[in-house]
């Protein structure tokens, strides 16, 4: 059974609860009031109602939508219920939060600044040796769990953990030296590791075929057997791709294999190069961040591949126009977004001023244009988005996405942005409240002074 709201009783001893009720936070209370928005609660309620045909009418009382909404904002851990909130629903809730910012005057949408950043996937450094070790481990684990549900001796599983550990250590030691002897020793160790992987893959493929053809005599739980078979179906193609790319690199000398697998557990991970000297290669996804007034992130998008920033400028303006109903008066971005076509099409969309510094040697006319006062002020305002991205990555943990899969990655990015926006709205409301109180205090003080003078 599903309710729209739910008032949770105190979990603590009553005297302690009375003391806890006296504790207040200047930001959490406004955020709590913002999350009482009925449209956001209805979005989550409609999603939860689709779990079962009669979820809204029968069954034990479940978590209320407003409780789940607060959990998504305030709790870093997530549950299966949170996983039901799809990236599409997260995007809709984000739009609603931006709508609340507009209603409260925090985001008029007259200005926009655009930038992109890399959000890392929750993966280890993707060397071929460790990927092969991961493949052997997950396939062997699935086979062992299937063997536990079968008749004794039906599935023979060899534990290669010790041998894999030694091969990984050999490869690690050989990689520290660039001599011909070390290279040959590393190739020999890779050959042994690939041989172990081929054996486990062959065993996993045969076991899966026997299960699908009914040749395995199961004495345990059939559901568990099918769950492990599903694991084999998922990981076998990935492990085979890792084997192929390892052979191509180590023995073929090709270091630029197309469609390279960087993680067995997060296969959507991509190599992103942003030109950073301290971190030339980053493993995750490129994310576009659009910000308007008062630190409100009006739009975000998880991009595919290491796309050029010039391809992201116009989609950001179009998304802004869809959200606010009109194009911004000012659009600013760094020189990575510059192109003459972007400036021309931005003007066609209705943007009055576009601040995109050009790359390379500037003509006299272009140099004079970029020295105009409004252009320089726009560039200084644009630089503030670097602080916003840092704020997203540190207090709101967007430096690395800890949810599993591509859908989980997008949800993690979306909820980091939503939570940041809620706190930005709350801070602005708190500043306005304090300013109003100060004006009221000054007014009362002036009245008292006027009375004394009289």
pLDDT for the residue numbered 417: 95
pLDDT for the residue numbered 3: 58
DSSP 312-375: THHHHHHHHHHHHSS--SEEEE-GGG--HHHHHHHHHHT-SEEE-PPPSSPPHHHHHHHTSHHH
Distance CA 346, CA 316 (A): 10
Which pLDDT tens digits describe the chain residue by residue (454 residues)?
A: 565 555 555 444 455 455 555 556 666 678 778 888 888 888 888 888 887 777 777 776 777 888 888 877 766 445 566 777 889 999 999 999 999 999 999 999 999 999 999 999 999 999 999 999 999 999 999 999 999 988 888 888 889 999 999 999 999 999 888 889 999 999 999 999 999 999 999 999 999 999 999 888 888 889 999 999 999 999 999 999 999 999 999 998 888 888 899 999 999 999 999 888 888 899 999 999 999 999 999 999 999 988 999 999 999 999 999 999 999 999 999 999 999 999 999 999 999 999 999 998 999 999 999 999 999 999 999 999 999 999 999 989 999 999 999 999 999 999 999 999 999 999 999 999 999 999 999 888 888 877 766 5
| b/e code 268-277 from CB counts within 10 Å (16+ = b) | bbbebeeeee
Domain ranges of the chain: 1-16+27-85, 108-123+266-426, 128-250
* Secondary structure class of 298 (helix, strand, coil): strand
In contact, 285 and 272? CB cutoff 8 Å: yes
The residue whose two tokens read 């050029």 is 308
Give the residue among 200, 132, 197, 140 at the shortest CA–CA distance from 171.
132
Residue 227's H or E segment, with its range, is: helix 222-250
Give the residue among 256, 201, 255 at the shortest CA–CA distance from 233.
201
Q: Classify residue 59 by its DSSP letter.
A: S
pLDDT digits (tens, 9 = 90+) for 8-29: 554 444 554 555 555 566 666 7
Q: CATH 3.30.420.10: does it fit domain 108-123+266-426? A: yes
pLDDT digits (tens, 9 = 90+) for 370-398: 999 999 999 999 999 999 999 999 989 99
pLDDT digits (tens, 9 = 90+) for 115-155: 999 999 999 999 999 999 999 999 999 999 999 988 888 88
In contact, 243 and 194? CB cutoff 8 Å: yes
Strand partners, 289: 115, 300
In contact, 197 and 136? CB cutoff 8 Å: yes
The residue whose two tokens read 């990981």 is 235
Q: Classify residue 106 by its DSSP letter.
A: S
Strand partners, 287: 117, 302
């Amino acid at each position: 059974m599903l309710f729209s709201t739910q008032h949770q009783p105190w979990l603590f001893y009553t005297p302690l609860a009375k003391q806890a009720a006296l504790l207040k936070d200047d930001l959490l209370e406004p955020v709590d009031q913002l999350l009482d928005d009925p449209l956001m609660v209805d979005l989550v309620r409609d999603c939860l109602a689709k779990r079962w045909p009669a979820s809204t009418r029968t069954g034990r009382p479940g978590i209320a939508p407003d409780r789940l909404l607060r959990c998504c904002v305030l709790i870093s851990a997530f549950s299966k219920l949170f996983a039901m909130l799809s990236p599409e629903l997260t995007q809709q809730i984000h739009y609603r939060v931006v709508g609340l910012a507009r209603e409260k005057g925090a985001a008029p949408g007259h200005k926009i600044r655009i930038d992109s950043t890399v959000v890392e996937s929750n993966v280890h450094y993707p060397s071929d040796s460790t990927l092969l070790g991961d493949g052997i481990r997950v396939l062997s684990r699935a086979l062992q769990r299937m063997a536990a549900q079968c008749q004794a001796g039906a599935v023979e599983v060899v534990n290669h953990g010790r041998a894999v550990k030694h091969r990984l250590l050999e490869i690690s030691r050989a990689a520290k030296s660039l001599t011909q002897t070390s290279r040959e020793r590393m190739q020999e160790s890779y050959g042994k590791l690939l041989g172990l992987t081929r054996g486990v893959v062959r065993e996993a493929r045969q076991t899966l075929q026997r299960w699908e053809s009914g040749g395995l005599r199961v004495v345990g739980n059939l559901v568990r057997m099918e769950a492990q078979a599903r694991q084999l179906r998922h990981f076998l193609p990935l492990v085979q791709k890792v084997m192929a790319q390892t052979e191509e690199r180590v023995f073929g000398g090709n270091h630029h294999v197309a469609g390279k697998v960087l993680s067995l557990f997060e296969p959507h991970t991509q190599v992103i190069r942003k030109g950073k000297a301290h971190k030339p290669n980053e493993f995750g996804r490129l994310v576009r961040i659009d910000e308007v007034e008062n630190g409100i992130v009006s739009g975000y998008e998880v991009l595919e591949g290491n796309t050029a920033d010039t391809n992201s400028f116009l989609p950001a303006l179009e998304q802004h126009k869809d959200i606010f109903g009109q194009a911004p008066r000012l659009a600013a971005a760094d020189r990575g977004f510059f192109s003459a076509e972007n400036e021309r099409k931005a003007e066609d969309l209705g943007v009055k001023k576009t601040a995109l510094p050009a790359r390379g040697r500037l003509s006299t006319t272009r140099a004079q244009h970029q020295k105009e006062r409004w252009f320089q002020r726009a560039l200084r305002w644009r630089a503030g988005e670097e602080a916003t991205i840092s704020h997203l990555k540190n207090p709101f943990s967007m430096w690395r996405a800890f949810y599993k899969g591509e859908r989980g990655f997008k949800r993690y990015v979306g909820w980091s942005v939503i939570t940041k926006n809620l706190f930005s709205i709350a801070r602005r409301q708190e500043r306005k409240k304090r300013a109003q109180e100060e004006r009221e205090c000054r007014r009362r003080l002036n009245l008292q002074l006027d009375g004394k003078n009289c």
